[in-house]
Amino acid sequence: MPFIPHTETEINEMLSVIGIDSIENLFDEIPAHLKAKGLERVPAGLNEMSINRLMQQRAAQDGQPLCFIGAGSYDHHIPAAVWQITTRGEYYTAYTPYQAEASQGTLQLTYEFQSMMTALTGLDVSNASLYDGATAMAEAVLMAVRSNRKSRSRKILVPRSVNPTYTHVTDTMVKHQNVELLDVAIDSASGTTSLDALKAFSGEDIAALVISQPNFFGTLEDVDAMTDWAHENNIMVIAVVNPLSLAILKPPGEWGETGVDIAVGDGQPLGAPMSSGGPYYGFMTCKKAFVRQMPGRIVGRTVDQQGREGFVLTLQAREQHIRRSKATSNICTNQGLVVTASTIHMSLLGPEGLKQTALSCHNNTQKLVKKLSSIDGVDVVFDQPRFHEAVIKLNKSAADVLNKLAQQNILGGLDLSELYPEMKDCILVCATELRIAEDIETFASALAEALK
């Protein structure tokens, strides 16, 4: 329902009832020096016609460039039916209310989402979403510290091949809880985690190891060896995965002898548009043994006294309201609307549709790498099995080349030197199923011209 503000008359009537002269007097306990003097950069209100024009102008600033950037947000085809259904009235207000059992439709949809995510990841239990992939990794780290009964440590091994944004967000969220993230070096030849660097931690008290598959560079890690090494050393394993890749890659629940303990990632590839950075959502699945340490909401299926099927929130004490900093997590909500879109998206595509999309992405990335590597001044850095991303090195300034491409309405990749100083003039490129042969040819021609 649209927001309808109170009139000045109504406000004055309410203030009169409680014996206050003005709204300002309601907050007289706040010192004057803490109050904002005014919102100088907020413009005056506009009428409907003017605000429509303004928002159209701002939307046009994004444009519709040819996108070859991945790095955690991907330009995928989303069937028109996904958001047509998602924005129907019965789905649009997807937040689960406190009296959750009154919202059987919302709960059933969430339950179906959880079932799909456990099927993709090969693990036992899924929650009902987190804020995004980066915060999901942070929550998984805290969950592992609580759950690993064989460790007294608060140390987490994080390979440098994990998305740096995820690592930075995780560090921000956990460092004040005395959790320490330890870097694990990558092999410069393969772009994967160095097993020798990992084995240097053998015998140490470590709570968990994070494994990204595919990793930030798009290359595939030796997940079986890494998972088994961790478990042999009483270290829990957290998988950070692209959910679309799981349509063709081994699910984390099957890595090594016993599978990982927790799997997280961002659900953006499953029906969420890039949208200038969001909103997206994070997912989390885990082994049943750790379900009581899982943050966020979990929906279960049951039957009532008449034997009718029903859906309920499970294992949710809403403890963040009463235990504050001692709570398992302070997550109070989920990204329900985007989860709704993902559930519809996965239902429409089905297992075979997801598989064909993932295969098309892989094939297009291979075609892109082959085309770009034939250009003078371009070298492929990691010639390894990959998914989505690839790293190429240029013989000129990556920043200058990307600027030239942007002037031709092409987003040519991510300059890696900002995140990895040793990767000077290297860019991370990506091709999804939307990048047809004509797009790749356009990119290659513009790149060749920019390198002259």
Over the stretch 311-357, which tens digit does the pLDDT of each residue have? 988 876 555 556 666 677 767 667 889 999 999 999 999 999 999 99
- Domain 66-75+350-450 architecture: Alpha-Beta Complex (3.90)
Average pLDDT on 249-260 reads 98
**What whole-number distance in Å separates Cα of residue 272 and Cα of residue 34?**
40
For the ranges 31-40, 56-65, 160-169, 325-334, the lowest mean pLDDT is seen at 325-334
pLDDT of 101 > 90? The answer is: no
For residue 372, pLDDT over 50 is answered with yes
What integer best gives the mean pLDDT of the chain? Answer: 92
Cite the residue boundaries of each domain of the chain with CATH code 3.90.1150.10. Answer: 66-75+350-450
* Whole-angstrom distance, CA of residue 414 vs CA of residue 428: 5
Rounded to an integer, what distance in angstroms lies between the CA atom of residue 67 and that of residue 405? 11
Reported as a pLDDT band with limits 50, 70 and 90, residue 79 is very high
CATH T-level fold of 81-344: Aspartate Aminotransferase; domain 2 (3.40.640)
Model confidence at 97: pLDDT above 70: no
Mean pLDDT of 11-30: 91
Q: How far apart are the first and last CA of the chain?
A: 57
How far apart CA 352 and CA 232 sit, in angstroms, is 36
SS3 of the chain: helix, strand, coil, percent, to 5: 45, 15, 40
pLDDT tens readout for residues 166-197: 999 999 999 999 999 999 999 999 999 999 99
155: Cα within 13 Å, side-chain hemisphere: 15
User: What does the pLDDT read at residue 229?
Assistant: 98
- Spatial contact of 137 and 170, defined as CB atoms under 8 Å apart: yes
Q: What mean pLDDT do residues 369-395 have?
A: 96
pLDDT value for 95: 64
Residue 41: what pLDDT? Answer: 87
CA of 178: how far to CAs of 28, 63, 147, 156, 413, in Å? 38, 44, 16, 11, 36
Q: State residue 1's pLDDT score.
A: 41
β-bridge mates for residue 430, sequence order: 389
Nearest to 106 by CA among 306, 330, 314, 339: 339
pLDDT of residue 191: 96
- pLDDT given for residue 250 in this prediction: 97
Alpha helices in 42-188 (DSSP H): 48-62, 80-86, 89-92, 104-121, 133-147, 164-174
Sign of the four-CA dihedral 231, 234, 239, 240: negative
In sequence order, the 6+-apart residues with CB closer than 8 A to the CB of 423 are 381, 391, 393, 416, 417
Report, as an integer, the average pLDDT of 388-403.
97
* Residue-wise pLDDT tens digits, 396-447: 999 999 999 999 999 999 999 999 999 999 999 999 999 999 999 999 999 9
- For the chain, where do the domains classified as CATH 3.40.640.10 start and end? 81-344
